[in-house]
Amino acid sequence: MINLIGTVACTLFLTVNGFYSSSDDVVELTPANFNREVLQSDSLWLVEFYAPWCGHCQSLTPHWKKAATALKGVVKVGAVDADQHKSLGSQYGIRGFPTIKIFGSNKNKAEDYQGARNSQAIVDSALNSLRSMVKERLDGKSSGSDQGRQSSGGRKDVVDLTDDDFDKKVLNSDDIWLVEFYAPWCGHCKNLEPEWAAAASEVKEQTKGKVKLGAVDATVHQMLASRYGIQGFPTIKVFRKGEQPEDYEGGRSRADIVARALDLYSDNTAPPELLEILNGDILKKTCEDYQLCIIAALPHILDTGASGRNAYLKVMMKMAEKYKKKMWGWLWTEAGAQMDLEQSLGIGGFGYPAMAAINYRKMKFALLKGSFSEQGIHEFLRDLSMGRGSTATVGGGALPNINSVEPWDGKDGELPVEDDIDLSDVELDDLGRDEL
């Protein structure tokens, strides 16, 4: 009986605390070792991001272990408990579990695994990725690590700055700049370099190039280092047009750098525009350009009047302001105007106002299940930001057809006017007679 209790307790402990142990061939990854094990490695890595409570993750576990054993010494296989290490999950945009990423030659550009969730398919995909990586190296296209800082090809979104072009590129720019001053021999600089390169790519994408990351070799461009009082390496400065540079005081991880860059961007940018869905181009462009597009179906104007509709739009605009650093797109439509869209999201015909968030790349959506209020929408969007909540596939697996409609004129609705019927020429006495 005691042995049975111990076995059950051990099983429960493993279930709560993760799926893998040191005896497995799966490498447990955390924020403390991810950079060293994965980003600075020359090996191909397959990394699973999972949550212990996730049923699909539990089903994947034996296949993941079997694949890791089969690939041992050939391809590295790791796993991140993204429920415990939320910073890593956020860093790689994890929105659901399990998510599998492939880290090949360019560790700053992880690819999504799209295959089946069984050991054979995982091994086949790993070997295909390995074959591609070896071919890149054979062709001289590899961006692998070296003993110093990577060449600009391995960090293409980091701008190398010099004494000659610094003023033109940075000080005269309308963009915000984060500039790292480094020395090639500096160990801390080498540790920062992959984080800086990865952050540069993500910041460029999320800010549409309005925030840039640069780097100055202070041992070569000593005039710049002296000009800004650089005493140690690495030193990071923030430059905004017309303002004195300020010291960067955030963390040195990719996630920290990106978060600070987005804060700087959001401080200097207007909230995203709230657009009415007037045609298919508006919906498609918004959903393509942003990580998520938030769509509201508001009650018919005859049900709320202009004041009621404006109250709903005001709530949406407040939320767009609150979450503007997320760079999401914001859209609305009148109930019944886009029935195909409503039906594809499971909100057609009832329950207005309603709201859905669409991930265009995955063709997945989530529905607001709370109240259409600042608090209700905030809780909905907060859960989305943290990768929580249930999702479903957009009906048909693609955006539906969109009707072209006229924009709302900002006024109250008017009931349709019925034509008056002139009865003056009708002989009422004849109405009861039937003619053969």
* Residues belonging to the active site: 54, 57, 186, 189
Q: CA–CA separation, 284 vs 423, rounded Å?
A: 52
Residues near 41 by beta carbon (within 8 Å), at least 6 away in sequence = 76, 103, 107, 145
Q: CA–CA separation, 308 vs 24, rounded Å?
A: 59
What token pair was written down for 166? 């610094």
387 touches 82 (CB < 8 A):
yes
75 touches 126 (CB < 8 A):
yes
DSSP, residue by residue, 236-289: EEEE-TTS--EE--S-SSHHHHHHHHHHHHHHTSPPPPEEE--SHHHHHHHHHH
DSSP, residue by residue, 120-144: HHHHHHHHHHHHHHHHHHHTT----
Residue for token pair 């739009």: 313
367 touches 346 (CB < 8 A):
yes
State the greatest distance between any 2 C-alpha atoms of the chain, in Å, as a whole number: 109
104 touches 142 (CB < 8 A):
no
